[in-house]
Amino acid sequence: MVDSTGSSGITGGMFTSSTMRIGGLASGMDIDSIVNKLMTAESVPLDKMKQKLQYFEWQRDDYRSMNSLLNDLKTSNFNMKLQGTFLTKKTSSTDDNKVTATASSSAGNASYTLKNVNLATSAYNKSDGSIISNNTFDPTKSIWSQQGKLANTTGLWSTGTVNNESMSVSSDGTSFNLAHGGITSINSTIDVNTSGVNQSYTVFTDESSFNNSTDANKVLVNQETGQLTFNQTIKKGANISVPNYNYNYINFNITTYDDNGNPINPDPPFNFDASTSLNSILSIMSSSKIGVNAFYDSSTKQVSITRTSTGDMNPIGGTDTDGTEIKFNGSSFLTQTLKLNEVNESGGVDASFNINGLQSTRHSNTFSLGNVTFNLKGTVSDTDSVTITVNNDTDAVYDQIKSFVDKYNDTIQKINDKIGETKYRDYPPLTDAQKEQMKDSEITAWTDKAKSGTLSNDSLLSGVLNQMRVDLYSKVSGISDSDHDQLSEIGITTSSNYLDHGKLIIDDTKLKQALTDNPDAVMQLFTNKGTTDDYDSQGVAQRLDATINNAFKQIQQKAGTESSTTKQYLMGKSIDDMNDRITDMTNRLKDIETRYYNQFSAMETAIEQANQQSSALTSMLGM
């Protein structure tokens, strides 16, 4: 059997049999030693097969490593195919403390003068005075436990009623939970039906009374949490039935507005169990879609609520003419318990500014015009101004080109190194028997030489390098500026050193000048798509991409990938064939070894018979 990498799983080195034999009793000869020496000679062809298999696998792995290099170059080259790489813009501001900006690649080179700038603010509201009557109020504990410490509990609770709540017991236990906490009243008994037998339990809401009661069947109800604690284990499969109970909960609604003045409401309205703390309520409000940030301040004992968005979201004049941006919809919890009054709201203000003589407003301090995003950070008077300038980012484009050139140079250096490796024909792969007689350092040194040159002067890789050079050095037709239709004309040339094997060299000054003088022509030189049947019209990055794709495919067809089976690539077939030959040779050697032992066994038998006859003759003559 052969694994996905083509390894045979057969131990290299001298052939060894797993059969234990004992011989030489008659002849006095070391039969095992003799057979082993004979098999060592017989195993020479097998060792050579295993060495050849190992070499195939090394060569295959080296091809795959070359494909990894080409794939990395393809990734780097991908950016060079994109026009956006060459259209990078940079912005500058005469006062970064007041206005900054960023520009997309499609922004035009321009200047923007801003004056009369006023920042957008968010609407906010706060409690109309302290919401507590006792300084021991803890916002991290349940509202139920803290309600006596609130200044106003009028309208704090919404009330609900449950009739005949039923729950099925999934496992034996004594504690179970009702659907609601905040219990204000509950039926005097709770029924438990077990296997058709009904049992009533007396209800207690006070732990002391529960403990002192002598009732055989009783249950303690935690009014805050709604937990039921029975004095007996309720068995799995039983059904607990609560005839009816009343409970308190907190329910309210808030309305805010989006950028277009459309109302935003929680869906459904906020609904909290009595065991929820004030901090948790405000936190959930803050993470909801209504877009507010709410918190309780322990110093002032007040609640603050602020819109997360800036601007006037509900201007007077719409269908809702009061202009309030955070509406409490008459909720008693908000207006009485938390003392939030819509009249006290400080409304949001839109940002206003004059840009190049045009007076305008926005809800946010960040806005976009002409593919430029402005960020207002401070006020600017009408007599003052801040200028934003948008220009081509020559340095950024240069860095992209340099990064590509570095990757290309590194790639061809490594491929050339592999092609130029010396092949040491006197250093075949070591067999296991050879390794057993060598030190680790000697094995490493030998193996390094044995693995060298697996791709020496490889025609496939040499062809790829030659084509990539043609792709980069050839002129590109159809460029808007014929003075920039070749890499050498923008300051990218090849090294004159023969040992550099065609590495690219950048003339920084000339390249940056080309990017400044005609960035569009430089972009076209790299990115022109052209047509598949018109090589000259294709940009150098487009050509290079096609060459890498073709090379990658050829190498993959020859050497496969890590996930390929041996039947999916050409070298795999050679590896399979060699493994089959190794298997056949191994079986043949077993037969030869058996034949040797049989021959020596026959010899031993003959010697034994001769010894017996000699002994008999000697005995007769002695008589």
Alpha carbons within 13 A on the beta-carbon side of 104: 7
Are residues 374 and 107 in contact, defined by beta-carbon separation less than 8 angstroms?
A: no
- Token pair belonging to 128: 């109309």
Are residues 247 and 186 in contact, defined by beta-carbon separation less than 8 angstroms?
A: no
Phi, psi for 40 (deg, rounded to 5): -60, -45
Contact partners, residue 376, CB within 8 Å, separation at least 6:
98, 99, 117, 119, 120, 351, 353, 365, 366
Angle at 2 between CA 437 and CA 579, to 5 degrees: 60
Are residues 258 and 290 in contact, defined by beta-carbon separation less than 8 angstroms?
A: no
Contact partners, residue 564, CB within 8 Å, separation at least 6:
4, 556, 572
Partnered with residue 162 across adjacent β-strands are 245
- Token pair belonging to 402: 């340099």
Q: What is the mean pLDDT of each run of 10 residues along the chain (623 residues)?
A: 36 47 64 80 84 91 94 95 92 97 92 98 97 95 96 94 96 96 97 95 97 96 97 96 96 94 93 97 96 97 97 75 87 96 94 97 96 97 96 94 96 95 93 90 94 94 95 92 91 85 93 92 93 89 95 92 85 87 86 83 82 80 69
Q: What is the DSSP letter of 562?
A: T
The pTM assigned to this predicted structure is 0.70
Are residues 461 and 66 in contact, defined by beta-carbon separation less than 8 angstroms?
A: yes
Residue located via tokens 């790639």: 411
Q: What is the pLDDT of residue 25?
A: 62
- Token pair belonging to 537: 């019209």
Q: Would you call the peptide bond into 268 cis, given omega within 30 degrees of 0 as the criterion?
A: yes
Contact partners, residue 214, CB within 8 Å, separation at least 6:
none
The H or E element spanning position 412 is helix 394-419
| Radius of gyration of the CA atoms of the chain, in A | 44
Residue 434 to residue 92: CA distance in whole angstroms: 70
Are residues 310 and 363 in contact, defined by beta-carbon separation less than 8 angstroms?
A: yes
Angstrom distances, CA of residue 583 to CA of 16, 579, 590 = 14, 6, 11
Phi, psi for 373 (deg, rounded to 5): -100, 120
Q: Is 323 exposed, middle or buried (CB count within 10 Å of its CB: 0-12, 13-18, 19+)?
A: middle
Q: What is the DSSP letter of 321?
A: T
386-392 and 89-93 as β-strands: parallel, antiparallel, unpaired? antiparallel
